[in-house]
Structure 1
């Protein structure tokens, strides 16, 4: 096995993480407005009156309302002053640049500065933003935007309860339509058991790095860490797929597009952990360093990037919230454990190299002169 000094390995890991952070910044900024978790569950319950081909649902943990229109007729979404805001129909999706909602809905907090041309009473100026039949947007009518909880929640935060019913008005020609929904408070889970589980997993996996590397037990320990890291990678890929589905992806093509455009680094991190685990299982050279690097990326991009999943009742993943917490906990435990085990093994190898006696070169004997 190639023996890499611990200090050099640490510098390389640090530099690699810094480069990954720098490269990931634009992607994180692009998707930063999707909530990582919340205790408010928003649901679209009905389109009234019902129209075949017109459907609504909440995506991104309730952070956006999605409206899909395949009726063959344009449908307008009305803004906060009753002005035309969005137009969805056979020609795609258009937004009214004169509507204040166009600017307010760009962030989930609604704190975007209005354009000087924003005027709900002005004649709409339509700008095409998509050629598909669906639009997704932050709608303040579906969200709880106050810094503190509602009075009824403050009085009894341990009980699930209705915050309000909401309505988003639509218009199709001369007909008025409503998207109706609910906003409920859901008490948060206790995050303590999940963090304890992640910490214990980290300690148990990291302890494998204390097993001497040059022994049969050391080989088994290396393979065990590799297998667990690969499991953490699989958990990360599963969580990433679930998050992409929660963001509204439909079909195989929509899923692949969502993974490649919205969850690129998380997906690469999971796949990298799987590859690093396989590398260790094969007992390849430099496996210790590979484990440490892949584990650090797993902790950073899959575990530490999603702490709200462990402490919020509504998580940004399609499927049970408990499953999402299990997947994030696996990523934290296996990633941190692989870092510890890999660095401990590197340190042991470097120390053994320093204490290995070096044999002096043999000097050929000078033939005796006669």
Structure 2
């Protein structure tokens, strides 16, 4: 029979996972075509001529170009045939439904089927898509879309090298403006050391489940596993914030909206790991169950889903890619280790508390009474 605290914890976790699924489902398509990692680094070099209030940057590991216009005047982004593609200004963001770029830039592969009305020579038909000052789109001029690497990279993939310089033309009134940038190849890192670190962490934390639970070392082992799981949760929350910032979020409100709308699974997984770690540190009932369940979620939603970070040079996270690899490695190590420790401790507890079957008692044997002798 499952103990009552474990049943209650299971019900709470089930309800939390159901709420998490409800929150995450509408946002499943957010950044769906953004890479989990890449070896091509796209960067904006300059805007020439520069204008105060006009800024550009690459977001989502270089998958999208973002243009922000706070100049107080409209600025047009030109498409691949020199036609007006986007118009960004005080009235918001408008796209030209006649521009082929409107449809090609909807996916990172640029494989959208063009509708009959797409004609770069036709007069623009503007359609409002946003009321903000910023537009974000996949621009084929900033990306490498071929299935194989460039010839120079294929000849020497171990060396960082320039793939090309790129230009995205803008128009402000009768003035031409250029967003200039670069696309570079960065050799991918060796994932082997990160896998070794994750495996060692798994063995170290999982070994806590082998220490007898009813002893002082067992209590210390439980607390150590809980502390390390909480550390994995903290780094997962930081990783989640880094992904939101890399997706273009600005300000506290933008970060919160990105966390709830696009990274709900990973965020709640990290918070759950922190809570389960605190549960173990406090030696609460069902702490072993909480360790195992939170560890499984952490390993899956923060570790496995971000494995590409370990073998790609550019991670979809604001800041150095090395920090992202450390966070993913910690999620894998602490998550899988907590699962092992929790399951082992639950197994030991189940064996200890298993009721013993009563031994079968044998009836006492009595000496046979001699039959009475009849006297004549």
1:259 matched residue in structure 2? 259
Would the aligned equivalents of 1:75 and 1:87 in 2 still touch at CA under 8 Å?
Answer: yes
- Give the Cα–Cα distance (whole angstroms) in 2 for the partners of residues 309 and 19 of structure 1: 28
Task: Decide which moves more: 138-147 or 97-106.
Answer: 97-106
Would the aligned equivalents of 1:276 and 1:294 in 2 still touch at CA under 8 Å?
Answer: yes
2:82 matched residue in structure 1? 82
- How do 1:250-289 residues align onto structure 2 when only pairs under 5 Å count? 250-289=250-289
2:155 matched residue in structure 1? 155
1:164 matched residue in structure 2? 164
Q: Post-superposition shift, 1:247?
A: 1.2
> Are positions 1:66 and 2:66 aligned together?
yes
1:101 matched residue in structure 2? 101
- Aligned pair count reads 357
- Give the Cα–Cα distance (whole angstroms) in 2 for the partners of residues 113 and 302 of structure 1: 35
- Give the Cα–Cα distance (whole angstroms) in 2 for the partners of residues 281 and 199 of structure 1: 23
- How do 1:312-327 residues align onto structure 2 when only pairs under 5 Å count? 312-327=312-327
- 1:59-113 CA-to-partner distances (Å, cap 9, x unmatched) read 1111110101011110011111111111100011111122111111111111222
RMSD, aligned α-carbons = 2.6
Q: Post-superposition shift, 1:323?
A: 0.9
- Give the Cα–Cα distance (whole angstroms) in 2 for the partners of residues 135 and 260 of structure 1: 21
Judging changes above 3 Å, is the alpha-carbon distance between structure 1 residues 185 and 63 closer, same or farther for their aligned structure 2 residues?
Answer: same
- 1:130-156 CA-to-partner distances (Å, cap 9, x unmatched) read 111111111000000011100000001
Helix, strand or coil: the match of 1:159? coil
Judging changes above 3 Å, is the alpha-carbon distance between structure 1 residues 68 and 272 closer, same or farther for their aligned structure 2 residues?
Answer: same
Query: Normalising by structure 1, what TM-score?
Result: 0.90
Judging changes above 3 Å, is the alpha-carbon distance between structure 1 residues 86 and 295 closer, same or farther for their aligned structure 2 residues?
Answer: same
Would the aligned equivalents of 2:210 and 2:344 in 1 still touch at CA under 8 Å?
Answer: yes
Q: Post-superposition shift, 1:115?
A: 2.5
Task: Decide which moves more: 326-335 or 350-359.
Answer: 350-359
2:336 matched residue in structure 1? 336
Query: Normalising by structure 2, what TM-score?
Result: 0.89
Would the aligned equivalents of 1:141 and 1:167 in 2 still touch at CA under 8 Å?
Answer: yes
- 1:146-186 CA-to-partner distances (Å, cap 9, x unmatched) read 11100000001111000000011111111111111000001
2:176 matched residue in structure 1? 176
Judging changes above 3 Å, is the alpha-carbon distance between structure 1 residues 259 and 131 closer, same or farther for their aligned structure 2 residues?
Answer: same
Helix, strand or coil: the match of 1:306? helix
1:354 matched residue in structure 2? 354
1:368 matched residue in structure 2? none
Would the aligned equivalents of 2:24 and 2:261 in 1 still touch at CA under 8 Å?
Answer: no
Judging changes above 3 Å, is the alpha-carbon distance between structure 1 residues 216 and 304 closer, same or farther for their aligned structure 2 residues?
Answer: same
Q: Post-superposition shift, 1:206?
A: 0.8
2:111 matched residue in structure 1? 111
> Are positions 1:199 and 2:233 aligned together?
no
1:304 matched residue in structure 2? 304
- Give the Cα–Cα distance (whole angstroms) in 2 for the partners of residues 211 and 25 of structure 1: 41
Judging changes above 3 Å, is the alpha-carbon distance between structure 1 residues 18 and 312 closer, same or farther for their aligned structure 2 residues?
Answer: farther
Helix, strand or coil: the match of 2:128? strand
Structure 2 stretches lacking a partner, 5+ long: 361-376
- Give the Cα–Cα distance (whole angstroms) in 2 for the partners of residues 106 and 21 of structure 1: 26
- Give the Cα–Cα distance (whole angstroms) in 1 for the partners of residues 358 and 118 of structure 2: 78
2:32 matched residue in structure 1? 32
> Are positions 1:138 and 2:141 aligned together?
no
Q: Post-superposition shift, 1:14?
A: 10
Helix, strand or coil: the match of 1:166? strand
Helix, strand or coil: the match of 1:119? coil
Q: Post-superposition shift, 1:19?
A: 9.3
- Give the Cα–Cα distance (whole angstroms) in 2 for the partners of residues 283 and 242 of structure 1: 32
Q: Post-superposition shift, 1:358?
A: 6.5
Task: Decide which moves more: 160-169 or 349-358.
Answer: 349-358
Judging changes above 3 Å, is the alpha-carbon distance between structure 1 residues 345 and 14 closer, same or farther for their aligned structure 2 residues?
Answer: farther
Would the aligned equivalents of 1:105 and 1:140 in 2 still touch at CA under 8 Å?
Answer: yes
1:364 matched residue in structure 2? none
